[in-house]
Chain A
Amino acid sequence: MPREGTPWQGLGIVWLKEMADHLSSARMRVLEWLVVLTALAALYGAIQSVRATTAEDPFLFLKLFTTAQEPLPSFVAFLGFLVPLMAIGLGFDAVNGEHNRRTLSRILSQPIYRDALLFGKFLAALATLAISLVTLWLLVIGIGLFLLGVPPGAEETLRIVAFLGVTVVYAAVWLAFAMLASILFRSAATAALVALGLWLFMTAIWPALAPAAAQAVMPSGEPAGVLVAGQMLARLSPATLYGETVLAILHPATRTLGPVYLSQLQGAVMGAPLPLGDSLLLAWPQIVGLIAATILLFAAGYVVFQRQEVRA
């Protein structure tokens, strides 16, 4: 006999309440200021150098996102660093916070399923992240319009929208992981530390470690094979996947995300941009990888949460 009712009962209510909590929380305000200030810094650097080198670049506007001027990294690099931080900041105490405030059993004794609580929390945090990212994104475009005086073309606009979408998906990966940690560990501090630790490992250490690991696994392999294997290993990290996707979308001249073979260069005009569709196709496996990682992490958290005891 199946269970009565739908697992979505109460979802919207949890979603709204959690989102109101996020938007009015001090934590969110700190994160927003962090993002806005760093983005402005990066943008300032980018505009300086874009102004100096303005030539006949059909994708001038994209340069706004990708140009770095020492010592500041580019806007995209900043975002790649800060978005996981925001996501972890919103998710690390999602479930264990309810445990520790002793509200979990009271809320779950209302006529809703656990699904609604978990999914509502995930959607609320994701919507909060999306709202701040869209705001930031509009801010950057607005400032760019002002300072450059050049509007983005149609394709550029589509590319920036795609970039925004991918960034939200990347945030979802880390949000799902932070929520998994919040389900697994009863202490919010432990959950935050584990999530931040994995993020540091995946962002800073794993991309450097992966080629070495490939070398160690196949010591006598041919160099090209080892290179590809190293890249495959590096792609286990969502940070690598995101970096490659952004590279393909915001640098239209990117023809491949792996090693370039001579056969691929035949007949190619060096530096000529790819159409948007082809760029997306190039990054499609990476995008799917990010979405799959989100679903897997969320599902793992879901299963553990369903089996968890509610008593404090």
Chain B
Amino acid sequence: MEDVVISAENLTKRYGSATVVDGVSFDIRRGEIFGLLGPNGAGKTTTILMLLGLSEITGGKARVLGRDPAREPLTVKRQVGYLPDNVGFYDNLTGIDNLHYTARLIGIPHEQRARRIAEALERAGLADAGRKKVGAYSHGMRQRLGLAEIVMKEAGVAILDEPTNGLDPQASVELLALIRALKEGGVTVMLSSHLLDRVQSVCDRVALFNAGRIALMGSVAALGRQVLGGGFAVEVEATGGVDLHRRLASLPGVQKVTAQGDRFYRLLCDRDLRSEAAAEVLAAGGALLRLGLDSPSLEQIYTRYFEDAARQAEEVRHAA
């Protein structure tokens, strides 16, 4: 249990009769990047606010670094950095002054403030913009300033709500690189997003939210196996060789081989079988032209899962 940084147990939030978060449970381990993914209004932000003690918990249990955010909010908030959706700063102050204010609220000793702010701005790539008023910042710079605040806080846990929302591709790539750098610095990251593919690359594990519940949880590859059947698709392009189609299909772990034309094969397998496939092509006397791994995308997993769920619901209705 030592390694669980954030845990939610049957976490529930109701507003009147509307249940926004409905019995959500998950554990986030130290040092991983955990993604809460799902459409807008699925309960991601509400879950985050409950974990921070900024929203009252209707039912269930939340623990952040082993503490109850509703009872010990100051301790929790001292060790958790939070980047809200579409973060705002005081436009009439400079980036440095904004961070100074937060630094004083956090209680960073006076003699450390200037150094930690400068380092944080440097890491977020804002070293030159620090003395400019935030009013002149672009959206991407504001998001980076938000990350700089978390770096300055030296928080062990970072909770990021829709960090790449509204950013152009270049800016979101930069931001995701910063998030990865946070992880390399030993920070546990929990992030939420409705852009599945964009965050797929950084998340170690994800929880797919739908209508206040977690529909699926696990690593992207595991979810791919679970939902799409074969988790890995190895693509082989080869010429020559004797009986290549049959030989590839008989490799252990391969579920299905589809041939497109006479030189292109697509292998559906339960693990990464690239080297085995390559060896098999050479053993058959063929020439290997191209070898690729098509990893499952979250988008596919998500769409397929909800199609299946809808179909099952339909069948149940018909049966009744």
Contact = CB atoms under 8 A, between A and B. Distances in A.
Nearest to A2: B71
A172 B119 CA distance: 42
Given A14-B105, A103-B89, A110-B105, 9 more contacts: A3-B73, A4-B73, A5-B74, A21-B92, A105-B84, A106-B83, A106-B87, A109-B84, A110-B106
Nearest to B98: A103
A111 B46 CA distance: 19
A310 B49 contact: yes
Contacts of A101: 88-91
Contacts of A103: 88-90
Nearest to B68: A1
A310 to B, nearest CB: 5
Contacts of A152: none
Nearest to B105: A110
Contacts of B107: 111
A13 B105 contact: yes
Interface string A7-22: 0011001100100010
Contact of B49 (A9, A10, A311): A311
Given A109-B54, A109-B77, A310-B55, A10 B105 contact: yes
Nearest to A102: B88
A1 B74 CA distance: 15
Given A103-B90, A310-B49, A17 B101 contact: yes
B14 interface: no
A106 B102 CA distance: 9
A113 interface: yes
* Interface of B, helix, strand, loop or mixed by DSSP: mixed
Contacts, number: 83
Nearest to B72: A4
Contact of A102 (B74, B78, B87, B92): B87
Given A102-B87, A106-B82, A109-B54, A13 B104 contact: yes
A55 B46 CA distance: 73
Nearest to B91: A101
A310 B71 CA distance: 18
A22 to B, nearest CB: 12
Contacts of A102: 84, 86-88
B75 interface: yes
B206 interface: no
Interface residues of A, number: 26
Interface centre among B52, B81, B90 (most CB of A within 10 A): B90
Nearest to B159: A109
Given A17-B101, A309-B55, A312-B86, A111 B146 contact: no
B105 A111 contact: yes
Contact of B101 (A1, A9, A13, A310): A13
Contact of B106 (A5, A21, A111): A111
A275 to B, nearest CB: 49
Nearest to A108: B54
B54 A105 contact: yes
B88 A4 contact: no
A311 B192 CA distance: 15
Contacts of A21: 90, 92
A196 to B, nearest CB: 24
A4 B86 contact: no
A107 B52 CA distance: 12
25 contacts: A4-B71, A4-B74, A4-B75, A9-B74, A101-B89, A101-B90, A105-B54, A105-B82, A106-B82, A106-B87, A107-B105, A109-B52, A109-B80, A109-B82, A110-B106, A111-B77, A111-B105, A111-B107, A112-B74, A112-B77, A113-B73, A310-B54, A311-B55, A312-B85, A312-B86
Interface string A95-133: 000000111011111111100000000000000000000
